Structure 1
Amino acid sequence: MTSRARARRAELFAGPGSDRRFGGPATGAERPMLLDMLEAQRATLELKCSGLGPELFLRPVAPSTLSLLGLVRHLADVERRWFRRVLAGQDAPALFSSPDDPDGDFDGATPGPGAVGAAWEAWHSEVAFARRFAAGAPHLDVTGEDGWRGTVSLRWVLLHMIEEYARHNGHADLLRERIDGATGL
Structure 2
Amino acid sequence: MTMPPERVPAVLDGPGVQVSDPRELLLGYLDWYRDALMRKISGLPDERLRAPVEPLGWSPLGLVKHLGWVERRWIRWGFAAENVVAYPPGGDEAEWGVPNGQPAGEILAAYHDEVSRSRALIAEAALDDRARVGGRFPTPEQAPTLGRILFHLLQEYARHVGQLDVVRELLDGQKGE
TM-score (ref. length: structure 2): 0.82
Partners of 1:135 and 1:155 in 2: CA distance: 13
Q: CA deviation at 1:66?
A: 1.5
SS in 2 for 1:111: coil
1:102 equivalenced with 2:89 (yes/no): no
Q: CA deviation at 1:110?
A: 3.6
TM-score (ref. length: structure 1): 0.79
Give, as a single letter, the amino acid of the residue that structure 1 aligns with 2:101: G
Q: 1:111 — aligned with what?
A: 100
SS in 1 for 2:144: strand
1:90 equivalenced with 2:67 (yes/no): no
Where relative contact order (Cα < 8 A, 6+ residues apart) is larger, the structure is 1
Q: 2:118 — aligned with what?
A: 130
| Structure 2 portions without partners, runs of 5+ | none
Give, as a single letter, the amino acid of the residue that structure 2 aligns with 1:131: R
Partners of 2:129 and 2:176 in 1: CA distance: 36
What percent of counterpart residues are identical? Answer: 33
Q: Which 4+ stretches in 1 moved above 4 angstroms?
A: none
1:184 equivalenced with 2:176 (yes/no): yes
Checking the alignment, whether the CA contact within 8 Å between 2:40 and 2:176 is kept in structure 1 is no
Q: 1:154 — aligned with what?
A: 146
1:56 equivalenced with 2:49 (yes/no): yes
More strand by share: 1
Q: 1:165 — aligned with what?
A: 157
More helix by share: 2
Any idea what the Cα deviations from partners look like across 1:39-94, whole Å, max 9, x if unmatched? 111111001010122211122213x3211011100000000111111111111113
Any idea what the Cα deviations from partners look like across 1:11-50, whole Å, max 9, x if unmatched? 9xxxxxxx88524355422110100010111111001010
Partners of 1:26 and 1:61 in 2: CA distance: 41
Checking the alignment, whether the CA contact within 8 Å between 2:23 and 2:127 is kept in structure 1 is yes
Give, as a single letter, the amino acid of the residue that structure 2 aligns with 1:125: D
